[in-house]
Every structure is written in C-alpha cells, then in structure tokens.
Amino acid sequence: HHLRQQNRTHSLPPGPPQKPLIGNYLDVPKAEPWKTFSQWGKLYGDLVYVEVLGNKLLILNDMESMRELLEKRSQKYSDRPSFVMAKYMGIENNLSFAPYGPDWRRGRKLVHGNVNQEAVQKYHSLQENVAARFLRDLVEYPSEVMKHLHMATAQIIASITYGFSIDTPSNAYFDEFAETERIVLKSVVPGAYLVDMIPLLWYLPSWVPFNSIQRTAERGRQRVSDIVHHPMEQVEQDMKQGASSASFVSDHLRESGSDKVIRQQLPWVAWSIYEAGNDTTSGTMLVFMHAMACFPEVQTRMREEIHRVVGTDRLPSFDDRGRLPYINAAIKEVYRWKPNTPFGAPRKLQDADVYRGYHIPKGTTVMPNIWLLSRDQDSGIDPEAFSPERFLDTHVKKTAIDPYSYAFGFGRRMCPGRFLADNSVFMLVTSIVATMRISKPKDSHGMEKPFDPPYIPEGLASFPYPFEVDIEPVSDKAVAVVKGRATSID
Ligand code: HEM
C-alpha cells in the first residue's frame, strides 16, 4: 500500500516514449549505446529511464547522481543484475558478478588484503621486471607488440594470483583464460542470450529446433569450472613439492588451514582477480598505443620529461613517479580518452527508492554513464584530442574531471585492483616511452598505412582489437640499457 502511494506521488524519471511490450527495445542500440544515452541526457535530463522487454534501466548522466546513489546510498545500490546463463555457468561465483551478500563480502575482503594501496608496493619489482622483459621482446620482435603486451599483463596478474613464474613463456592457461573470458563477457550482456529476455525459453526441451540453450550453458559451465580449478590444482601440487612462490592463492591456502568455506571460495576469488585484472589492463595499454601512434607530439613531450628526470642510463622505476607530472597527466588521459567501461559495471537496485522527486522501482538496473563524464569540456580542450594538458593547472584555467573519480567505479563495488592496475600501467607506459618510438604502420615504401583501430563495439568493456603499429628503439643506447636490465633478471 505504501509503495503504491509512493508511486502515485512520484513519477518515474523521464525517458524516450515506450512501445507496448517491447518498451524501448528498438531505441537502445547494441553498438556504443553510451552515445545514445548521452543524447538522451540532453533531451530528458541527468536521469533517464527506459524499459527493454520488461527490464527497467536507469541511466545516470551526472557525477552528482553517481555519488549520491552509488556511494552515499550504496546499501541499496551495490547488487548486480542477474543473468540466467551466467548463473547456470557459475559466473555469479565471480566477485565481479556476485550478488551483494555475505559471499561477495568475504571474497572482497580476501582480495583487498592483497591489493590495497599499501600491499601493492610488494609487486613493484615484479612489475619492473616484467616491463624490462617486455621491452627486450619488443627490441627483438617488434612486429609482435600486441602479443608481448598481452603476455606482459597476463604475467603480472598470473604471478600475483597464482605465483606462476614470468619465465613461463606461453603458459598453457593463458589461452584457456582468454577463451573463458569471451564466454563470461557474453553471458553478462543484456540480450546476448535470448533466454535472458524470454526466461521461458529455458524450459523448452532441447530437441526443439534451434533451442541449444541448455547445451551451450552446460558447455560454458564446464569451461568455467576447468579454468577455475586447473590453476589451483597446479598451485597445490607445486606447494606439495615446495616449489610454489608466494601468491594470493598460496598465501591464503597456508593461512586458511582447514576453513572449508574459504577453501571452497578461494579458487573462484583467484579467478575473479585474473578475470577482472587482465583484459582491463591490457586493454588500457592498447588504448595507450593507439593514442601514441595518433599523437606523436604528446609522445615526444612524455619522452622529454622522462629523459630529463630519469636520464637515459637506466629504465624508469616507481621511485621516479612523483617527479613525472606530465607522465601522470598522460596516464589520466589514457583512462579518459577511451574509457574501458563506458557505462561502468551495472548495479541492481535492491529496494524501491526516491531521488530528485522520482520513483525508482526495485530491481532497476542502474548504469553510470562514465563515457559522458569523460567528454567534459571544462578545460576548453576538445574531448576527442589526446591532451594531458587538460589535467595540468599550469596549462588550463579549469582542469578536466579527474578520471580516477570515475574510471574505476564507485562505492562499495569500486575496483579493488585499481592501485595494482595503475602501477602496471605506469610501469609499462614509462618503460615504453623511455626506450621506444611508436608510430602509425608504414608500407614497404615508407608510406603511412590507413590507421583507425576498431574497438569492441558492444558489451561491458570497450578497447581495441589487436592492431598493427610500428615500433622501434629510440637509440642504440636504449637498446643496450634494455638488454642489460633484462639480462640482470635472467
Ligand atoms: C586499468 C585496469 C582496470 C580498470 C579500468 C578497472 C575498472 C573496474 C570497474 C569500472 C569496475 C566496476 C566497479 C563498479 O561496479 O563500480 C571494476 C571492478 C573490479 N575490478 Fe577492476 N579495473 C582494472 C583492473 C583491475 C585489476 C588489475 C584487478 C585485480 C585485482 C581488478 C579487480 C576487480 C574486481 C575483483 C572487481 C569487482 C568488484 C566488485 O564487484 O565488488 N581490476 N574494475
């Protein structure tokens, strides 16, 4: 009764008109929906409400509503939407997709212990070593830059999570991880599987033509289970032989003793770290490579700063970071220029709410339009330009919105890996710029080839597919420094 009254006095937030049954289904494009959401923002205001086949969606188009709802009211806004396929495949055991509750809280605590701001310092030398090896690979096989990049981020995260050595050249798990990742990303996108729109389909027998849902689900479940448990078994085996190095998994296996709950959850939490931390970091690095090829003058300014502060006799280290303001601004610019998660990671509202005089129904999927924040014009610099200057008050009257306030999410479900991620990005970015020149690909006559790397157009994450780019050492001395440093690790 109370709710009905609330409904009467408060209307839903505005949005495009709906059609019977399908609602706004035809209005929400699959490719780059955040651009359409942003246009709606201009038409309907900062809160936009749409319905797609009975699913309620609320789009937040301003920082204030994100802070108020996702942070101040996080008690209600920290659940995730649920998907039939994902649930069946076990993907809701992954921290990123888990419902808000005791399992999520326990898992989150485990992760936090290993990657909080203090703890990530113990990974500095790992990150420096991986960067040095990565540079040597670039010197030796520059045309395989995309492969090297993916390997570098995978090595960092696999070492931290499972203790796998960075000497493992092409670990058997990496391809398996990558393949499972595709299954995961598909299963948490509204509408990718018809069964999430029309749940009744699940109950149709599988001999009905075209109804392969249950078979797909079963295959996915098996794959997910394999990738969650195989690396764990390896760690346990290594531990028995005394051959495992410290890692998230081995530390917690030692500490948890016979705690059954933790032992059961640990493989899933470990996989969550790998799953959430690998493609996001490599994707961010691909955006960086894209930007460097398109904006050579920024690349030059970055290199000048490094050479001025660090010199050319050694590779950059974490101790240098505080003295590299232009580099730090350029890293912010990478997060802003093409944000990884243009509409964040969706939340599900657990109880009906009232905000700015509007009624927001229970169960509504809430999406912060991060992409729109990234397009702000406060600095007066074109949002499409890659320009670190927009973050420097020595260059502009008003600096752009700080991407650290939106690129890693909000409130209780904010990315717990953000310090680790940012350190990896800093180390890889500075190492590359210090020693390598990145440019658009050229043909055999030295003419620039057309260059416009396509981005994954739909789903939660947005970064380029692997693309061709030219890469060469800045000097013979740089090659010598790289080789010397890499050899010292061997
Ligand atoms: C540049 C790289 C990264 C970006 C841009 C990024 C971004 C994000 C975003 C936007 C979210 C959703 C937050 C929300 O719902 O408000 C998230 C969640 C998460 N991230 Fe990251 N992330 C990155 C790297 C990492 C790394 C290296 C780890 C490894 C520890 C990690 C672990 C996680 C986990 C476990 C979650 C789920 C949190 C939850 O649902 O409670 N991320 N990340």
Q: Which atom of ligand 1 sits closest to the CA of residue 108?
A: 41
pLDDT of residue 459: 73
Tens digits of per-residue pLDDT, 329-344? Answer: 999 999 999 999 998 8
How far apart are the C-alpha atoms of 310 and 304, rounded to whole Å? 10
Q: Is the pLDDT of residue 434 over 50?
A: yes
Distance 153 CA to ligand 1 centre (A): 15
Q: The tokens of 3 are what? A: 């709710």
Residue 347 has φ and ψ, to the nearest 5°, of -115, 160
Instruction: Specify which residues 439 forms β-bridges with.
Output: 470
pLDDT of residue 199: 55
Contact 192, 59 (CB under 8 A): no
DSSP letter at 122 equals G
Q: Which atom of ligand 1 sits closest to the CA of residue 78?
A: 15
Which residues 6+ apart lie within 8 Å of 305 measured at CB?
324, 325, 326, 327
Distance 314 CA to ligand 1 centre (A): 32
Length of the chain measured in residues = 490
Q: Is residue 276 part of a domain?
A: yes
Distance 116 CA to ligand 1 centre (A): 13
pLDDT of residue 109: 95
ipTM of this predicted structure: 0.99
Distance 244 CA to ligand 1 centre (A): 27
Using 50, 70 and 90 to split pLDDT, how confident is the model at 217?
confident
How far apart are the C-alpha atoms of 416 and 116, rounded to whole Å? 7
Instruction: Specify which residues 455 forms β-bridges with.
Output: 464
Q: Is the pLDDT of residue 26 over 80?
A: no
Q: Is residue 75 part of a domain?
A: no
Ligand 1 pocket: which of 408, 424, 426, 428 to mutate (most atoms within 8 A of CB)? 408
How far apart are the C-alpha atoms of 318 and 304, rounded to whole Å? 18
Using 50, 70 and 90 to split pLDDT, how confident is the model at 437?
very high
- Average pLDDT (353-362) is 97
Q: Is residue 188 part of a domain?
A: yes
Q: How far is CA 283 from the centre of its chain?
A: 7
Contact 120, 416 (CB under 8 A): no
CATH number of the domain to which 399 belongs:
1.10.630.10
Range of the domain at 243: 94-338+387-489
Q: Is residue 87 part of a domain?
A: no
Using 50, 70 and 90 to split pLDDT, how confident is the model at 1?
very low
* Residue ranges around ligand 1 (CB below 6 Å): 95-96, 108, 111, 115, 272-273, 276-277, 280-281, 284, 340-341, 344-345, 407-410, 413-417, 420-421, 425
Tens digits of per-residue pLDDT, 153-205? Answer: 999 999 999 998 776 655 567 777 777 877 777 776 665 555 555 555 455 54
pLDDT of residue 206: 47
Tens digits of per-residue pLDDT, 397-432? Answer: 999 999 999 999 999 999 999 999 999 999 999 999
Query: Helix crossing, 260-294 with 418-435: angle to 10°?
Result: 30
pLDDT of residue 192: 56
- Average pLDDT (92-118) is 95
Using 50, 70 and 90 to split pLDDT, how confident is the model at 27?
confident
Distance 344 CA to ligand 1 centre (A): 10
- When divided into structural domains, the chain yields a total of 1
Contact 57, 50 (CB under 8 A): yes
Q: Is the pLDDT of residue 442 over 90?
A: yes
Residue from 332, 341, 342 nearest 379 by CA = 332
Q: Give the three-class secondary structure for 385.
A: coil
Residue nearest to atom 26 of ligand 1 (CA): 277
Residue from 154, 161, 166, 164 nearest 125 by CA = 166
Q: The tokens of 138 are what? A: 């670039």
Tens digits of per-residue pLDDT, 106-129? Answer: 999 999 999 999 999 999 999 999
pLDDT of residue 24: 80
Q: Which atom of ligand 1 sits closest to the CA of residue 98?
A: 40
| Buried b / exposed e along 176-215 (16+ C-beta atoms within 10 A) | ebeebbebbbbbbbbebbebbbeeebbeeeeeeeebebbe
Distance 230 CA to ligand 1 centre (A): 23
Contact 88, 219 (CB under 8 A): no
Q: Is residue 79 part of a domain?
A: no
Residue 61 has φ and ψ, to the nearest 5°, of -110, 5
User: For the chain, what percentages of helix, strand and coil (3-state, to nearest 5) are there?
Assistant: 55, 10, 35
Using 50, 70 and 90 to split pLDDT, how confident is the model at 210?
low
* More reliable by pLDDT, 390 or 207: 390
- Average pLDDT (304-323) is 98
- Positive or negative: CA dihedral 6, 9, 12, 18: positive
Q: Is residue 448 part of a domain?
A: yes
User: Which of 233-237, 398-402, 478-482 shows the lowest mean pLDDT across its residues?
Assistant: 233-237
pLDDT of residue 31: 79
Average pLDDT of the chain is: 89
Contact 374, 348 (CB under 8 A): no
Residue from 313, 344, 341, 310 nearest 426 by CA = 310
Q: What is the Rg, in whole angstroms, of the alpha carbon atoms belonging to the chain?
A: 24
Q: The tokens of 245 are what? A: 């190095």
Q: Is residue 224 part of a domain?
A: yes
Q: What is the dihedral of CA 421, 427, 428, 429, to 10 degrees?
A: 100
pLDDT of residue 268: 96
- Positive or negative: CA dihedral 473, 474, 479, 482: negative
C-alpha distance from residue 158 to each of 123, 147, 170, 246, 273 (Å)? 12, 16, 12, 12, 9
Q: Is residue 29 part of a domain?
A: no
Ligand 1 pocket: which of 106, 110, 181, 280 to mutate (most atoms within 8 A of CB)? 280
- Residue with tokens 């998660």, as numbered in its chain: 341
pLDDT of residue 168: 64
